[in-house]
Structures are given as C-alpha cells and as structure tokens.
Amino acid sequence: MRVTGAPEAPLRAALRALRTELGVPEGFPPDVLEEAGHAPRLPSDDATDIPLFTIDPPGSMDLDQAMHLSRRRGGYRVRYAIADVAAFVAPGGPLDAEAHRRVTTLYFPDERVPLHPAALSEDAASLLPDRIRPAVLWTIDLDAEGRTTATDVHRALVRSRARLDYKHAQKQIGEGRAEESLALLKDIGQARERLEAERGGISLDVPEQEIVDEDGTYELVYRAPLPAESWNAQLSLLTGMAAAELMLSHGTGILRTLPTAPDGAVGRLRRTAKALRIRWPHHVSYAELIRSLDPHWPHHAAFLQECTTLLRGAGYTVFRDGVRPETTIHSAVAAPYAHCTAPLRRLADRYASELCLAAAADRPPPEWVLAALDDLPEVMAEGTRRAGTVERECVDIVEAALLKDRVGDLFEACVVDVRDDEPTVGTVQLESPAVFARIAGGTTELPLGERLRVRLTQADPGTAKVEFAPA
C-alpha cells in the first residue's frame, strides 16, 4: 500500500518516527550502489529454453522465484528457479556487509526498505519476464501423489516468459483457460496439501489485515488468501524441504526450525477451544482440528488467531562437519525445512543456496559461507525481530490513523483473546474496519469468542495505540 498525502501528515510523520526509532537505514552508501551496478558472474549452463513464469502480488518487482511445472511418466516435474544473488555479491565486500546490516527487506505503508539496492533487487537479479538472468535452478521430480523422488540443483541462465499475479492466475485456473504449466499448480499444490495433512503439518488460514489504497485514501480490510497463494506456498515449502534434506545429507547447513509446542501451550488452546464452543475430541490431533475450521466463522477465526501463538519460537539452526543438530524439524512443516527461496529479501537464503549447490555437486561449501555460518542464527534472529516489529507497529499506526477522529464511537466486535491473569483485559476483532486492538477498562470477565459492543477510548498515530472498552 502506498500512503499518499503531505509528508507532514500525522500518519506519515508517525511512520518516519518509527523508522528512526528502529534505526532503519535511509539509503545505501555510494560504494554499495557502485557494486550493485557491476556485471554478475554468469553460469555456463543455458536453461533459457524452459518457459518459466512468476506469480507475485501485483506490481512486485523483486521477483525471487520462477517456475515451470510439467507432467512426467508416473508423476510431475517441478522446475523452480531462484534469483542467484551470490552472482552479484562479492564476499566481504560493501554489498555483502550492507546486507548483513539490513538482514531482511522491511515493508512500510509509505515505502519499502530493501535488503539490496533496487538496481539489483528490482532489476539485474530479479527474475523479470523476457530478461536473461543467473539463477539457482532446482529440478524436483514427484510421483503421482506428490512425493519427492529425485532432486537436483545447479546454476543456470534462465528467462521467465510471464509475470502473473495471484488473482489472474486463480481466474485462469478456475475458468480452465490456463496453460498446462499453470494449471498443474493446482494439481501439484493440492497433492502437496494432502501430504502435509498426512505428515501432520499445519498451514494456518488466518484472516489477514490488508492495508489498501483507494484513490488516495487508505483503509484496513480482512482478506482471505486465494487457493493459488496456498498452492504456490506449497511449492516454496517443497523446495525448502528438499534443501534441508540435501544439506542434512551433506553434513553442513542452516535449517529453519520450530520446536514442538509445550503441553502447557496446547492445554491452553484446549481451554480456549472449549470457551469458543469448538469441539475438540481427545483423539483428534491439533493439525486435524485446524484443517476442520472455517476462518469465515467468528469463533473459528478467533481460535485460529490464538493458534498463531504455537508458531512463536522459530529460529535458525546451523550444523557442520557431519554433526547432525539436536533439532532438525520445523514443527509446523512437520519435516526438516530451510529458507532458500527468497534471497532478494532475506539474507539467510543466499547462504542456504550455496550450501545446497555444494551438496549437490559433492564438494565442500565455499569458505566465505563457512566463515559466516555460525553467526547467521543470531543475525537472522535480530533481523526477523525487527521485521516483526515493523509489521506490528505499522498496522497499529494505520489503525490509529483510521480511527483518530472516532474516539467515543461504538463498534461491533468479537473477543478473540482474554488474558489468563487478568480476564477483564484482552483483544477484540472489529468487523469493520479490519482492526485487532486491546480492550480494557471493564469490570466483568470478557466473554471469549462472543460478540461485544465496544467503545473506542483512544487512537492517535504515533502517540496512543488503539484501545477499546466494553460499551
């Protein structure tokens, strides 16, 4: 979303203040910009004959992944090209040092703070259509049920043929007008969803808050992901799982891990389910229950929101020299998993790609990768925390800007969280606008999962976050 209006407007001033508070870089140093303009190191393998395509939100320019899907005897073949950022970045150089300082791309309502300069992330390294680009090209063969039977990864020159967005891709698939490679996104995506259910993996379908810009004004709405987004996410998960297995087999790597939730956290969710009148028999697993819920129902949406607490605690786990780490599983994926598909926007992915390329070629990883490997978990943890803070604070600021002139007004809401130690304090979800906010000031216990009429008590972007009280 692009916020329009004068720079001195309260919303834009609050966003600038947030960037200052978080120490967000304002621009790139000259030596970084100079290196970003250098010609890349090009691979010898030419795979430009593969008719790849990309699927991203409308207007995206930093295109990390392109794909081609095809049938093969007994199953499918997935070609997944990842932007080869390492072809542009000299280890230990200015661009590398700046990427370690930034860690991830940060998204604000009024601007994007990229991991790499736009000359690289939105041009020279981006898998834009009809441009020849260096890439890390994965070939993953699947059987008829979507299980991996063979994996290969190597560097290659590629050329994407089309840039699609989710809405139009979904429309083409739904109307039966999609070419086979795009049509297979549904078949393979659904097959992988079935395997996810089989292994006990979880994809939370939580209604998202989306900031949209309509003719110079902005608003918050709830948006349910399109099926095409879920199918596309399954291909990213497939590649991340293949990367994890490849690194584990070679003995050196970096995984994205999430420990199994403690019994106390699951027990709290069972109490929440009971309060929300959601039937959860003891023989039904957590993953099975999640797949049975409909996020369009208020009680189910409230429970799904609570379920996100079990996904906290994800981190990066490094291992080397054949010593298998104690934790290899990402509990939500229910398998070993690695971040490797977004190197234009996330630092760790460049390292994971190099480790996978070395493993596939049965050679030692580059020295520059090994030298930085042990520090990566801490670097990524700090960058991930900052990105999470940006996301939360930006939504808080936009909510306050939307509601600043409506203090004292009444709204219809649903109670989606109640504090265990203080049951008069919790979180409400408004029907319109799409706001989640704190509720306090009442004298009786909040009715978890119930509709409630609430009064707005404060809202001021940059000064006071949105807060409600029972009406």
Tell me which residue of 221, 281, 308, 277 sits closest to 450, measured CA to CA. Answer: 277
Using the predicted structure, report yes or no on whether residue 152 has a pLDDT greater than 60: yes
Identity of the amino acid at 107: Y
Tell me which residue of 113, 104, 80 sits closest to 341, measured CA to CA. Answer: 80
pLDDT tens sequence across 53-72: 999 988 899 999 999 999 99
Whether 404 and 276 have beta carbons less than 8 Å apart is answered as no
Q: How many CA atoms lie within 13 A of 217 on its CB side?
A: 2
Strands 436-439 and 426-430: antiparallel
Q: What pLDDT score does 234 carry?
A: 96
Using alpha carbons only, how large is the chain's radius of gyration in Å? 23
pLDDT tens sequence across 72-85: 999 999 999 999 99
Using the predicted structure, report yes or no on whether residue 6 has a pLDDT greater than 70: no
Identity of the amino acid at 198: E
Q: Distance of CA 210 to CAs 205, 207, 389, 394, 438, Å?
A: 14, 9, 16, 11, 19
User: Residue ranges of the domains in the chain?
Assistant: 10-254+320-400, 263-309, 404-470
CA 293, 294, 300, 303 torsion-angle sign: positive
Confidence of residue 216 (pLDDT cuts 50, 70, 90): low
Strands 208-214 and 148-165: unpaired
Return the higher-pLDDT residue of 120 and 214: 120
Confidence of residue 167 (pLDDT cuts 50, 70, 90): very high
- Based on the number of CB atoms within 10 Å of its own CB, is 273 exposed (0-12), middle (13-18) or buried (19 or more)? buried
Average pLDDT over the chain, rounded to whole?
Answer: 91
CA dist., res. 13 & res. 5, Å (int): 11
Task: Report residue 31 as tokens.
Answer: 């030596």
Question: Which of 161-165, 208-212, 239-243 is predicted least confidently?
Answer: 208-212
Return the higher-pLDDT residue of 107 and 295: 107
Using the predicted structure, report yes or no on whether residue 8 has a pLDDT greater than 70: no
CATH architecture of 404-470: Beta Barrel (2.40)
Return the higher-pLDDT residue of 335 and 206: 335
pLDDT tens sequence across 96-147: 999 999 999 998 888 889 999 999 999 999 999 999 999 999 999 999 999 9
Q: What pLDDT score does 1 carry?
A: 45
Q: DSSP class of residue 448?
A: T
Confidence of residue 330 (pLDDT cuts 50, 70, 90): very high
